Amino acid sequence: MDLFSESEDQNRKTSIGNCLIEYKKASSILTPASGFMSSYDFTLNPYSGCSFGCTYCYAAFFSRSEEQRNNWGLWLQVKENALSLIKKYRNKGLRNKIIYMSSVTDPYQPIEKEMEITRSILKELLEYHQPRLVIQTRSPIVLRDIDLLSRFQNIQVNMTITTDSEKVRKIFEPLCPSNDSRIKAIKEINDAGIKSCITMTPLLPVLDPESFAIKLKNTGLTNFIIQPFHTEKGKFIAGTRSAAMNLIKELDWTDEKYKMTEEILLNHIPNLGIGKEGFKPI
Ligand code: SF4
């Protein structure tokens, strides 16, 4: 995890809705990748915390304090010196290093529209580094950067799409963009000739697997990754666990249902990547 320098001004704060935004100077921006991310050299997180606050988010466990863990989704730290930290790598050989952006936040937070932290990092990586870059997001704001993305020699954009149901999405990911807006966005990126992937990580309950599979296939993408959803893992924000569990029960979302959905997806998408193996850069 990136650590923040205590000596810098740590006090600038604002809020958007219920989310407290802090502006921080980070001491590092690239973290050597390990564990689930071991196919990559580095992870890159332009923000700390995440205002999308998905109720099951595993990243919450990497928070620095219990308070942050408990309030996941209600705080976001902007690494306002991210660009200057990346610039320090100009002579260190990031060319062809495999970078995953981002592992414990979404690089396209709503505030990215005005902050342009991620955009500034992309410009720097494009001009001076040319790494192999994998972007992971669930936000159509990524469309803003197509002009830069299309100029990378080796880039992949992963869009997380977890269900076909807005009802399910609103319970598990109430602050995230709609399913359809994400599908539309990744289709547009793929149509622009940028290597694209839909990551169903985790796959939440799906109401109509057959239609979902066809809808995904009709995007024209050929890369998909699936991973099961574990109700016992992750960080459920107070009050959401019971709603999520009730829905899982109501929809009878069992291991068998997951397997059946996976099979239907495989019928339509033969090269469906599964779990960690599927998560390797394409
Ligand atoms: S967008 Fe990603 S990092 Fe943010 S809360 Fe959701 S799962 Fe976690």
pLDDT digits (tens, 9 = 90+) for 164-215: 999 999 988 999 999 999 999 999 999 999 999 999 998 999 999 999 999 9
Q: How far apart are CA 115 and CA 158, in angstroms?
A: 22
Convert the pLDDT of each residue in 199-258 to its tens digit.
999 899 999 999 999 999 999 999 999 988 876 655 555 556 667 777 788 888 888 999
Determine if ligand 1 sits within 6 Å of the CB of residue 197. no
CA of 129 to the centre of ligand 1 (A): 27
Q: Does any ligand 1 atom lie closer than 6 A to the CB of residue 75?
A: no
From ligand 1's centre to the CA of 23, what distance in Å? 19
All residues at 6 or more sequence positions from 141 whose CB lies less than 8 Å from its CB, including other chains: 108, 110, 112, 113
Ligand 1 centroid–CA 5 distance in Å is: 24
Q: Is the CB of 54 under 6 A from ligand 1?
A: yes
Name which residue leads in pLDDT, 52 or 248: 52
**Using a 6 Å cutoff on CB, does residue 59 contact ligand 1?**
yes
- Lowest average pLDDT, out of 84-98, 125-139, 240-254, 265-279, goes to 240-254
Ligand 1 pocket residue status of 57, Cβ below 6 Å:
yes
What is the rounded distance in angstroms from the CA atom of residue 13 to the CA atom of residue 15? 7
Q: How confident is the model at residue 10 (pLDDT cuts 50, 70, 90)?
A: low
3-state secondary structure of 156: strand
pLDDT cut 90: percent of the chain above it = 68
User: Is residue 108 lining ligand 1, measured as CB closer than 6 Å?
Assistant: no
Mean pLDDT estimate for the chain: 90
- The verdict on whether omega for the bond into residue 178 sits within 30 degrees of 0, i.e. cis, is no
> What CATH number belongs to 13-278?
3.80.30.10
Which amino acid type is present at position 187? K
Cβ 156 vs Cβ 282: under 8 Å: yes
Q: Could you tell me the sign of the dihedral formed by the alpha carbons of 188, 189, 194, 198, in that order?
A: negative
Instruction: Report the side by side order of strands in the sheet with 47-49.
Output: 13-16, 19-24, 75-79, 47-49
Both tokens of 78, joined, read 């902007």
User: Helix 255-268 crosses helix 209-217 at what angle (to 10 degrees)?
Assistant: 30
Cα(147)–Cα(159) distance, rounded to whole angstroms? 18
- For residues 246 and 10, the model is more confident at 246
Give CA–CA dist 248/242, Å, rounded. 10
Q: What is the pLDDT of residue 275?
A: 79
What pLDDT shows up at residue 250?
84
Residue 134 has pLDDT above 90, yes or no: yes
**Please, are residues 240 and 57 in contact by the beta-carbon 8 Å criterion?**
no
pLDDT for 11 beyond 70: no
Mean pLDDT of 71-96: 93
- Please check the confidence at residue 163 and state whether its pLDDT lies above 60: yes
Nearest ligand 1 atom, CA 72: 5
State residue 116's pLDDT score: 98
Amino acid 6: pLDDT = 37
* Side chain identity, residue 63: S
CA atoms of 262 and 210, how far apart (whole Å):
10
Task: Give me the residue label for tokens 């997951």.
Answer: 258
138 lines ligand 1 (CB under 6 A): yes
The pLDDT value recorded for residue 93 is 81
The tens digit of pLDDT for each residue in 261-282 reads 999 999 999 889 987 777 788 7
Q: For a pocket test of ligand 1, which of 47, 52, 235, 236 has the largest count of ligand atoms closer than 8 A to its C-beta?
A: 52
Encoded tokens for 99:
């970078």
Average pLDDT score over residue span 45-67: 90
Q: What is the CA radius of gyration of the chain?
A: 18
